[in-house]
C-alpha cells in the first residue's frame, strides 16, 4: 500500500475512522530530518501491508498539528480506532522505526 497524504479534508476519514492501525508522519518540506526520514517511513510501510501509513504536512494542516500538540518534527503518531496509542519524535533509522511499529502492534493486540 502506498503512503497516503492526509489533510483537514480527509484526516477524519483516513485516520480517525479507520479500523486498522494508522501511522501518521507529521512533517514539513523545509525540515531536513523529515526529508531524511521519508525513505525510512516508505520502506517500513511496505513491510506492514495491514497498517495504514499516512503523511501530514504541518504547513498545509496546521489545525491538525495543533490539535495533536505537534511541536517538533518529524513526529510520528500511531492511531488505533481513532485513539492515539503511541508517539515518536525525531528521526529513526529503518531498524529503529520497525521495532517501534512492532512494539505498538504488540500493545494493541493485548
Total count of domains within the chain? 1
Q: Can 56 be counted among the known catalytic residues?
A: no
Q: State if pTM tops 0.85.
A: yes
Residue 1 pLDDT more than 70?
no
**3-class DSSP state for residue 91?**
coil
Measured from the Cβ of residue 41, the count of other Cβ atoms closer than 10 Å reads 21
Q: Can 34 be counted among the known catalytic residues?
A: yes
Of these residues, 3, 28, 31, 35, which one is catalytic?
A: 31
Give burial (CB, 10 Å; 0-12/13-18/19+) of 42. middle
Across all residues in the chain, what is the average pLDDT? 96
In this structure, are residues 73 and 91 in contact, taking their beta carbons and an 8 Å threshold? no
At 2 the pLDDT is 75
Of these residues, 34, 40, 64, 77, which one is catalytic?
A: 34
User: What residue numbers bound the domain in which 11 lies?
Assistant: 4-109
Helix axes 32-47, 94-109, angle to 10 degrees: 60
Cell 490539535 belongs to which residue? Answer: 67
pLDDT tens for each residue of 30-72: 999 999 999 999 999 999 999 999 999 999 999 999 999 999 9
25: domain CATH number is: 3.40.30.10
Residue 6 pLDDT more than 90?
yes
At 31 the pLDDT is 97
More confident residue, 1 or 70: 70
Amino acid at each position: 500500500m502506498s503512503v497516503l497524504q492526509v489533510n483537514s479534508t480527509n484526516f477524519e476519514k483516513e485516520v480517525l475512522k479507520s479500523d486498522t492501525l494508522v501511522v501518521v508522519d507529521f512533517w514539513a518540506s523545509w525540515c531536513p530530518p523529515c526529508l531524511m526520514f521519508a525513505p525510512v517511513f516508505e520502506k517500513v510501510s511496505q513491510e506492514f501491508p495491514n497498517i495504514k501509513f499516512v503523511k501530514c504536512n504541518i504547513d498545509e494542516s496546521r489545525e491538525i498539528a495543533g490539535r495533536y500538540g505537534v511541536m517538533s518534527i518529524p513526529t510520528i503518531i500511531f492511531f488505533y480506532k481513532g485513539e492515539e496509542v503511541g508517539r515518536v519524535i525525531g528521526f529513526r533509522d529503518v531498524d529503529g522505526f520497525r521495532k517501534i511499529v512492532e512494539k505498538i502492534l504488540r500493545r494493541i493486540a493485548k
